[in-house]
Structure 1
């Protein structure tokens, strides 16, 4: 099988969830004797076409900043990459059995569909999230434009993969028949996580993620402050809410036990803190998947997530952790129980192991082959 991935950013030269998924699945497909090509921007040193861990990397656009001064993804960057992908992808379409495009940003997906028109090569899409009305919050007056592009992308003929049932349901609400949507979750390197030594300066309670409103770190701070304990809280990550959260933390009775670590460049440093923590708490109300829950369970943490219709936390945590209402009182109660040794019904490590990249790659491989054979559900 010859698989082509379309992604403006390429891991490990740019780090992020969508590009890491491509890397982890792609390298495992190579190990299984499949050919893998990644079409992206030229973020690596050396020639425009090179080989990395067995995969062919093919630059169709120069390196460019992905974010504008406002911290949001650049629409101009997405449009430029979409324009640049059409000709090389069409020229090489006959060499690929299937093309897999990450849905965000949307324009490259639409461009890939245009490039493959009439070639017979199927387009598989990977949906990490479906934003819907959240576009209004993200883009303000341009929100209707974001919603319209998302809606148009959802209705393009494709073989759609969602990373969770929540994302699949939201995609179906935008016109893609639910029976046609396959679910292939995101993954973790279980053995890597288990090999990492716990951080010597680890915290009792840990959060890791982008500091934005939906992560509800403000709720976590209030809940932690309400717990009668001498436990410590570490917050890994950065984002637009960091200054406000640090001010909130400084006013708490537990201020001397709360530490903001910022963004950690080395992924294994994050894992080391997870391996050392007793509890991982993230009351996030918007999670297309929630990879940190799986990582923390693999690390052996007692995990607490929020039960919310816009979050797939329940699909990841299952019975390997605890789910609470996303408010300070509910979180504080469960946090206290966890710090006093309350254990979930199932071993978190066993639940996490199902998300190992080897298992995810097998599911993805089967999905790609189904698209090639035109044996996709509902088609």
Structure 2
């Protein structure tokens, strides 16, 4: 197959979950003999068209700032989408690609890819990582109505949709395609790499670990309170890895805890290996996040043989990812306290976390994606 991926940012030059998924799947497909091109912004050094780990990278726009006031830039998304149409049209008129795979968020490239694909009747596969719906109210405030309209319009463009979880698929079906038409292909992890990870020699390990963006939905404040209630009894420590708009508030909260000396705010760690090393050293990975389109850190922590404690919430795929290999509880201080107390006291989940995590290995995910792409090509 000849596959064209669309992502305004390209891994590893910009690091994030959606672009890493394209890289991991794309490099495996290229190794299997498929032709894979990634259309994105020019964030890499060198010419606008180059090769990297078997992938052809083609810049259709210069690199630029992606965020405005800690939110993804609408102007950037519109600019990238507008620049896509001409390069796609030229390539598709030459019948280069059998299909296009568009990463959804942002949404505007979906329209550009469909418009350009119409030239050669090229099918478009979309990858939905989240469906926001009412979350737009929190994210954009008075402008939320516009976000909802664009999201719904993108969902209704003729496409072959892929969702990273059943929760995301269900939410997508509420605003666009039939649920039966949506294929669930989860995000992935490199299980072998995680199993080999070790803590840096100059770093301290923690009994309980959180890793993620410090935003309100992650509910780190609940974790701090719950941990404070059990820390002394279990002689436990807590490490908070990540950065975000809640950082200063959470730091002040941590400093005011009874067991403040047992909590470290580690900030953002530049090296992914260091995050994995902390997971490998921890006994418990706790993240009471109530909004997770998939929850890659849950899978990573299970592969590192952590006992995972997550939140049970309709907007989170935690229970889908973790199953019975961890504990998914009501996101309250009391339930988190009870669960941390039990796990630090020796309670183990019914199923081995590492065994559960192996189903999310990138090799399995790439195979599922290749099968889906092949079906789309056969269907035309």
Q: Same fold (TM over 0.5)?
A: yes
Question: Partners of 1:139 and 1:371 in 2: how far apart?
Answer: 35
**Mapping 1:29-40, distance limit 5 Å:** 29-40=29-40
Deviation, 1:118, is 4.0
The answer for the alignment partner of 2:6 in structure 1 is: 6
Q: Quote the Cα distance in structure 2 between the aligned partners of 1:345 and 1:136.
A: 39
2:369 corresponds in structure 1 to: 364
Deviations 1:39-87 (A, max 9, x none): 000000000000000100000000100001x110000000000000101
Q: Is 2:337 the partner of 1:332?
A: yes
> What is the 5 A alignment of 1:110-189?
110-189=111-190
Q: Report the equivalent of 1:102.
A: 103
Q: Which is worse superposed, 110-119 or 155-164?
A: 110-119
Aligned residues: 374
Unaligned runs of 5+ residues in structure 1 are: none
In structure 2, what is the Cα distance between the partners aligned to 1:370 and 1:211? Answer: 39
Distance in 2 of aligned mates of 1:136 and 1:337 = 37
C-alpha distance in structure 1 between counterparts of 2:121 and 2:149, whole Å: 27
- How far is 1:198 from its partner? 3.4
Residue 229 of structure 1 and its aligned partner are, at CA, apart by 2.6
- 2:55 and 2:33 mapped to 1: Cα distance? 11
Matched position secondary structure for 2:360: coil
Q: Which residue of 1 aligns with 2:78?
A: 79
SS in 1 for 2:213: coil
Q: How many Å separate the matches in 2 of 1:29 and 1:319?
A: 32
> Equivalents in 2 of 1:196, 1:103: separation in Å?
31
3-state SS in 2 of match to 1:354 = helix
Structure 1 residues 315-354: aligned runs within 5 Å? 315-354=320-359
Can you list the C-alpha shifts for 1:306-337, whole angstroms capped at 9, x where unaligned? Answer: 11000000111011111110001001111111
Quote how far apart the aligned CAs of 1:90 are: 1.4
Residue aligning to 1:213 = 216
Corresponding residue of 1:16: 16
* Whole-angstrom CA distance in 1 between matches of 2:367 and 2:62: 32
Matches within 5 A, 1:191-230: 191-199=192-200, 201-227=204-230, 228-230=233-235
**Cα distance in structure 1, aligned partners of 2:137 and 2:14:** 27
Write out the 4+ residue segments of structure 1 that deviate beyond 3 Å after TM superposition: none
The structural deviation recorded for 1:366 is: 0.6
TM-score normalized by structure 1? 0.98
Runs of 5+ in structure 2 lacking a partner? none
1:181-214 Cα deviation digits (max 9, x unpaired): 0000000000000111234511000000000000
Deviates most, 271-280 or 86-95: 86-95
Match of 1:252 in 2: 257
The 5 Å alignment of 1:48-87 reads 48-68=48-68, 70-87=69-86
Structure 2: distance between partners of 1:373 and 1:272: 43
Deviation at 1:175, TM superposition (A): 2.3
1:235 pairs with one of 219, 237, 240: 240
Whole-angstrom CA distance in 2 between matches of 1:109 and 1:370: 20
TM-score (norm 2): 0.97
Deviations 1:292-311 (Å, cap 9, x if unpaired)?
00000000101111110000
Q: Kindly indicate whether the alpha-carbon contact (under 8 Å) linking 2:123 and 2:377 is maintained by their aligned counterparts in 1.
A: yes
Structure 1 residue matching 2:298: 3-state secondary structure:
helix
Instruction: Determine helix, strand or coil for the equivalent of 2:71.
Output: coil
CA RMSD of aligned residues (A): 0.9
* 194-203 vs 77-86, which moves further: 194-203
